[in-house]
C-alpha cells in the first residue's frame, strides 16, 4: 500500500490524501506494515486505509523528535518559531474548503460547522505565533550582591493525543502552544478520524518547519497512545478525551519517567435558566449548547435546569426549536446535525436513550434513529429527569438533553454542582447580580452567561474536578509547555571568607 490515495469530497472534488505516518517531514509506511480503515459515518462505508503506528513507530518518532530538539529546534529563535506558525495559519486559510470537506467526510460534521472549525484553527495557530517571542522570565531583586533571574524553557519532546470530535481544531489547540514555547511534537490522531490530521501535516512541510519538529501518527489508543504515555524519552503528554482514558494516561506517566501531564476530559455541563431570562434567547443557546456538533462535545450543555416559573413554557418552546434542526447529509447546505462518528458511538447513545426510557424520564421529542443509512440520531429531549438517573449523571456525548426544574437560586447552584465533572456551565438571566453570584459559585472551568459554546483561542479552557488538569488556550496554555529555571549569580565578595 502506498502512502497516499486519491479521494473525492462532494464539495471540492478529487484530491490527494496522505495515508502514511508523518515523521521527519516525510510520509512513511508503518514498520509492522499494518493499516486500518476509516469509515464514512454518513454512508457507513470505508473511505480508505491508513498506515497504523505501532510501538516501533512511536520509538522512531520519539527518536527523531529528540534529535531534532537537541540539535536543531532549540536553537531556532522565538521570532522564527512564530513565523512558522503564522505561515501554517495562512495555509489553513488558503486550504479552508478542502480541510473542512475532509472533516465532514471523515467525522460527519456539517460542512458549515467544519468551515468555522478551520477558521478557528487558523486563528489559534496565528495567536500562538504571536506569543512565540513574548515568552520570557523575570529579573528578581534580592540584594546588591546577587543577580537573579528566571528563564521559561521548553519541556522538550511533547506527545499529544487528540479526540475525534474536533479533529483539526484539537490539532491546532495542541500544536500551537507547544511549538510557540519551543517544543517538538508527536501527535496521535484519533483512529476514527485520521484524515484531516494527515492532510494538515502536508501543510507543516509547506510552511517550512524543519524535519522532525511536528510529527503526526495514526493509530490506536491501546497501542500507539499507550506507547507514547509510557515512553521514557517523552517529556510531556497532553490528552483530550474521556476521563477513563485520562486516568490510564496519568498512571502510565507516573509509572514511567514521571512526565508532565495535561488532561482535558469529560463533562456533564449544566445549563441553568432563570425565570427572568429572555426565553427566546435562552432557548436558542440551549439548543446550540446541546446539539452543536451532534452533541459530541465535551462541554455540551446536556443538563438543563429550568426555574419552575417558566418550566412548562420553556419545554414547549424548546421542543419547537429543536425540531427545526436540520439532520442529514453533512454536505447539505441547510444541515446542522450530521451523523454520529461511528457505530460504537451510535450504539452507546441509543443505549443511554433506552436507559432514560426505562428509568421513567419522559421523551418530549426524538429518541429514535434518523433515516435508514448512516449513524444518525434524532435530536432528543428528556423532561422530568431526576438527579439519580443515568442520563443525568453520565456523559452521553450525543444529541440527548435532560431537563429538570429548580426552585431557588441556591437550588440551581446545588444542582449545577451535583456532578463529578466540572468542565463548563451556563447561566441565563437578565440580572447581572444573579449572573455574577451564580458564576462565582459554580464549580466549572468555564461559565457562559446568556450564551453557550463560545470558545475562543484567547480564553483559557479546562476543567475542575474529574474534567481534567491544566488549561488549553490563552496565555494559560503556555505554562503547561514550559518549565521555570532559576539562575542565581553572586556578584559580591565571598560570603564565608
Please count the CA atoms within 13 angstroms of the CA of 283 that sit on its side-chain side: 20
Catalytic residue among 52, 103, 191, 264: 264
| Eight-class DSSP state of 223 | I
The SS3 call for residue 260 is strand
Question: Could you give the CA distance from residue 285 to residue 428 in angstroms, rounded to a whole number?
Answer: 9
Closest CA to 262 of 285, 241, 287: 241
264 is catalytic: yes
Q: Which residue in the block uniquely carries the three cell numbers 494527515?
A: 198
Q: How far is residue 119 from each of residues 74, 108, 126, 301, 384, measured CA to CA in Å?
A: 29, 18, 11, 23, 39
Question: What is the enclosing helix (H) or strand (E) of 468?
Answer: strand 468-469
What count of other Cβ atoms lies within 10 Å of the Cβ of residue 344? 11
Closest CA to 240 of 164, 302, 342: 164
What count of other Cβ atoms lies within 10 Å of the Cβ of residue 274? 22
Beta-strand ranges (E) seen in 92-203 are 146-154, 157-161, 184-189
Question: Could you give the CA distance from residue 44 to residue 339 in angstroms, rounded to a whole number?
Answer: 10
Angle CA 175–177–182, to nearest 5: 90
Q: Which residues are catalytic?
A: 264
Amino acid at each position: 500500500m502506498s502512502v497516499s490515495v486519491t479521494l473525492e469530497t462532494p464539495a471540492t472534488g478529487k484530491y490527494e490524501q496522505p495515508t502514511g505516518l508523518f515523521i521527519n517531514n516525510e510520509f512513511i509506511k508503518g514498520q509492522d506494515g499494518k493499516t486500518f480503515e476509516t469509515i464514512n459515518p454518513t454512508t457507513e462505508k470505508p473511505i480508505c486505509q491508513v498506515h497504523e503506528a505501532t510501538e516501533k513507530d512511536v520509538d522512531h518518532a520519539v527518536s527523531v523528535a529528540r534529535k531534532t530538539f537537541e540539535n536543531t529546534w532549540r536553537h531556532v529563535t522565538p521570532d522564527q518559531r512564530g513565523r512558522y506558525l503564522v505561515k501554517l495559519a495562512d495555509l489553513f486559510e488558503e486550504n479552508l474548503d478542502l480541510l473542512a470537506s475532509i472533516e465532514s467526510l471523515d467525522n460527519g460534521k456539517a460542512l458549515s460547522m467544519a468551515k468555522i472549525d478551520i477558521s478557528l484553527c487558523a486563528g489559534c495557530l496565528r495567536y500562538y505565533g504571536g506569543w512565540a517571542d513574548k515568552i520570557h522570565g523575570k529579573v528578581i531583586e534580592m540584594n546588591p550582591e546577587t543577580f537573579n533571574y528566571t528563564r521559561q524553557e521548553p519541556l522538550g519532546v511533547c506527545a499529544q493525543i487528540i479526540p475525534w470530535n474536533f479533529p483539526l481544531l484539537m490539532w491546532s489547540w495542541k500544536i500551537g502552544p507547544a511549538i510557540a514555547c519551543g517544543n517538538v511534537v508527536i501527535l496521535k490522531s484519533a483512529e476514527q478520524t485520521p484524515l484531516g490530521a494527515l492532510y494538515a501535516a502536508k501543510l507543516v512541510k509547506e510552511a517550512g518547519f524543519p524535519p522532525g519538529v511536528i510529527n503526526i501518527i495514526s493509530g490506536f489508543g491501546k497501542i500507539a497512545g499507550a506507547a507514547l504515555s509510557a515512553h521514557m524519552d517523552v517529556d510531556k503528554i497532553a490528552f483530550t478525551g474521556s476521563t477513563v482514558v485520562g486516568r490510564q494516561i496519568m498512571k502510565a506517566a507516573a509509572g514511567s519517567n514521571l512526565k508532565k501531564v495535561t488532561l482535558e476530559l469529560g463533562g456533564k455541563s449544566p445549563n441553568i435558566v432563570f425565570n427572568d431570562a429572555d426565553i427566546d434567547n435562552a432557548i436558542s443557546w440551549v439548543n446550540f449548547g446541546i446539539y452543536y456538533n451532534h452533541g459530541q462535545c465535551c462541554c455540551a450543555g446536556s443538563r438543563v435546569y429550568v426555574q419552575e416559573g417558566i418550566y412548562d413554557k420553556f419545554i414547549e418552546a424548546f421542543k419547537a426549536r429543536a425540531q427545526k434542526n436540520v439532520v442529514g447529509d453533512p454536505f447539505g447546505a441547510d444541515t446542522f446535525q450530521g451523523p454520529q462518528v461511528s457505530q460504537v458511538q451510535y450504539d452507546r447513545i441509543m443505549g443511554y436513550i433506552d436507559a432514560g426510557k426505562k428509568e421513567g424520564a419522559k421523551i418530549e421529542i426524538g429518541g429514535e434513529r434518523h433515516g435508514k443509512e448512516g449513524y444518525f440520531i434524532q435530536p432528543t429531549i428528556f423532561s422530568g429527569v431526576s438527579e439519580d438517573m443515568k442520563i443525568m449523571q453520565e456523559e452521553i456525548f450525543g444529541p440527548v438533553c435532560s431537563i429538570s426544574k429548580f426552585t431557588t437560586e441556591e437550588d440551581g447552584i446545588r444542582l449545577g454542582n451535583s456532578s463529578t465533572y466540572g468542565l463548563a456551565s451556563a447561566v441565563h438571566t437578565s440580572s447581572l447580580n444573579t449572573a455574577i453570584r451564580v458564576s462565582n459559585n459554580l464549580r466549572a472551568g468555564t461559565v457562559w452567561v446568556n450564551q453557550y459554546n463560545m470558545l475562543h483561542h484567547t480564553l483559557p479552557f479546562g476543567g475542575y474536578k474529574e474534567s481534567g488538569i491544566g488549561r488549553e488556550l490563552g496565555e494559560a496554555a503556555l505554562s503547561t509547555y514550559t518549565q521555570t529555571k532559576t539562575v542565581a549569580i553572586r556578584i559580591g565578595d565571598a560570603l564565608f571568607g
